[in-house]
Amino acid sequence: MRTPELLAPAGGMPQLKAALRFGADAVYGALKSYGLRASAGNFSWEELQEALSLCHTAGKKFYLTLNILPYDEEMQGLIDTAKRACELGVDAAIVSDIGAFLALRREVPALPLHVSTQANTLNSETALFFSQMGAERIVLARELSLNQIAAIRERLPEDTQIETFVHGAMRMSYSGRCMLSDHLTGRGGNRGACAQPCRWEYALVEKKRPGEYIPIEEDARGTYLLSAYDLCMLNHLPEMMQAGVESLKIEGRMKTEYYVANTVSVYRKALDLLSQSEEAYRAALPELEAQLLKASHRLMNTGFFFGAPTPAAGANGFSQNMEYVGRVESFMDGIAAVHLKNRFYVGDTLELLCPQGSLPFRVEKIILQESGESVDTVSIAGQKVLIPLPFPAEEGDFLRGPNRNHTK
């Protein structure tokens, strides 16, 4: 079986650089408009040019998300944006609206199109329709099982690719098409401005008993009836490949560069080991699972791939076994210049996350870069500090350390 593409989120330039450095084959991101993550950093036209240069120089691809559900008055702007992006060299556009798909197929024929998961492709007839209309790739609905995906793959032409999510946040709504945010806050999820109300705390109230809140599986933090578990298919990559999935997609255009680096690194290693042998992959799973937990995550399950998710909801916040404490900006003569993210202390055991792996070391000294003062701890995000390292590091590596707020 051919190793599938590893597709990573790029909410902005830092995440894109992390994705490329840690092993993604392709990234997906948006411009300042027409994408469904308006709160992400996203890319200006100048940044998009730089992003494309970085990707193509590295032999990687950039897919532009144009997956907003547009009104008539927005369609020409979307078409003009797609034309310019195509001229710059984006490798494909991700589109969810059928009208937008047809318009782009007609007006920008040179631009490859990927059908977004929000188009809700649940069966082979729909997949064949998009294939016949010229879709290069179909991102299937999240509610499909692996058996259903395999059946769709079997009916599609070989040159139409299948993509599915493999890791990250899941929505309580149908393949992410949510009206709840618009109804409660006026911020439309299908317009890129979701307020994430599925993550809020809710209580059940009977109409004739106002003010009497009925708890449902309530814990100390409240009741999270709508908050879905995160998806994690790290343990099931062979099954995804056997189902014919050509691209494995990591969710997370709102996530940090550290999250992107850590998650991409884990799945890259898993896929590389699997390409050697399934035995090597299986043997490494405990270590890879442990590394996944070192970045912020909700409770995780396998989504719909093996039937309805169990449990269906109730993920009440984030946890992580280690904390992102800094990013290496340069390294010279055994000293790393670090951009601080979170507090750490002299004497702490930190880990350097780099493409080669995760390397532990003890902090022997912390020096403030600006003053040269030696200190016992640093806590102001954005500070520049110098730290001796017992091994080489490079720009774009990450430091992580003890999460003092973590409870198992």
Domain ranges of the chain: 5-170+230-296, 322-402
CATH for 322-402, options being 2.40.30.10, 1.10.10.10, 3.20.20.80, 3.40.50.300? 2.40.30.10
Distance from C-alpha of 39 to C-alpha of 242, rounded to nearest angstrom: 36
Q: pLDDT digit string (tens) for 126-151?
A: 999 999 999 999 999 998 999 999 99
Confidence of residue 408 (pLDDT cuts 50, 70, 90): very low
Distance from C-alpha of 81 to C-alpha of 61, rounded to nearest angstrom: 18
Q: Say if residues 352 and 397 touch (Cβ distance below 8 Å).
A: yes
Beta bridge partners of 374: 367
Neighbours of 349 (CB within 10 A): 11
Yes or no: domain 5-170+230-296 corresponds to CATH 3.40.630.30: no
Q: What is the pLDDT of residue 314?
A: 65
Confidence of residue 178 (pLDDT cuts 50, 70, 90): low
Distance from C-alpha of 95 to C-alpha of 11, rounded to nearest angstrom: 17
Question: Is the model's pLDDT at 192 over the cut of 80?
Answer: no
Q: pLDDT digit string (tens) for 289-330?
A: 999 999 988 888 999 999 887 766 666 777 788 899 999 999
Q: Name residue 234's amino acid.
A: L
Q: What percent of the chain has pLDDT over 70?
A: 85
Q: Say if residues 140 and 152 touch (Cβ distance below 8 Å).
A: yes
Indicate the pTM of the whole model: 0.87
Angstrom distances, CA of residue 316 to CA of 175, 260, 296? 21, 22, 13
E strands, 110-218, are 113-115, 137-139, 161-168, 204-205, 213-214
Among 91-95, 107-111, 210-214, which is the least confidently predicted range? 210-214
Q: What is the average pLDDT across 79-90?
A: 97
Q: What is the pLDDT of residue 407?
A: 40
Distance from C-alpha of 176 to C-alpha of 96, rounded to nearest angstrom: 11
Q: pLDDT digit string (tens) for 376-393?
A: 999 899 999 999 999 999
Q: Say if residues 175 and 117 touch (Cβ distance below 8 Å).
A: yes
Show the tokens assigned to 92.
Answer: 């494909």
Distance from CA of residue 365 to its chain's centroid?
Answer: 34
Q: What is the pLDDT of residue 202?
A: 67
Is there a common fold for 5-170+230-296 and 322-402?
A: no
Q: Say if residues 242 and 326 touch (Cβ distance below 8 Å).
A: no
Question: Is the model's pLDDT at 198 over the cut of 60?
Answer: yes
Show the tokens assigned to 342.
Answer: 């979170």
Find tokens 């578990």 and name the residue.
229
Question: Is the model's pLDDT at 398 over the cut of 50?
Answer: yes
Angstrom distances, CA of residue 141 to CA of 145, 238, 305, 313? 10, 20, 11, 18
H helices of 186-296, where?
237-242, 257-276, 278-292
Q: pLDDT digit string (tens) for 336-367?
A: 999 999 999 999 999 999 999 999 999 999 99
3-state helix, strand, coil in the chain (%, to 5): 30, 25, 45
Distance from C-alpha of 85 to C-alpha of 64, rounded to nearest angstrom: 8
3 state SS of 147: helix
Q: What percent of the chain has pLDDT over 90?
A: 72
Around 203, how many Cα atoms within 13 Å sit in the side-chain half-sphere? 13
3-state secondary structure 341-377: CCCEECCCEEEEEECCEEEEEECCCEEECCCCCEECE
Q: What is the pLDDT of residue 28?
A: 97
Q: pLDDT digit string (tens) for 250-264?
A: 999 989 999 999 999
Q: Name residue 41's amino acid.
A: G
Distance from C-alpha of 85 to C-alpha of 79, rounded to nearest angstrom: 10
| Burial class, 46, CB count within 10 angstroms (exposed 0-12 / middle 13-18 / buried 19+) | exposed
Confidence of residue 180 (pLDDT cuts 50, 70, 90): low
Show the tokens assigned to 45.
Answer: 């036209």
Q: Regarding predicted confidence, which is higher, 254 or 224?
A: 254
Considering the chain, what is the average pLDDT of its residues?
89
- Pairing state of beta strands 398-402 and 349-354? antiparallel
Confidence of residue 169 (pLDDT cuts 50, 70, 90): confident
Burial letters 270-307, b for 16+ CB under 10 A, else e: bbebbeeeeeebeebeeebeebbbbbbbbbbbbbbbee
Q: pLDDT digit string (tens) for 30-56?
A: 998 876 655 557 899 999 999 999 999
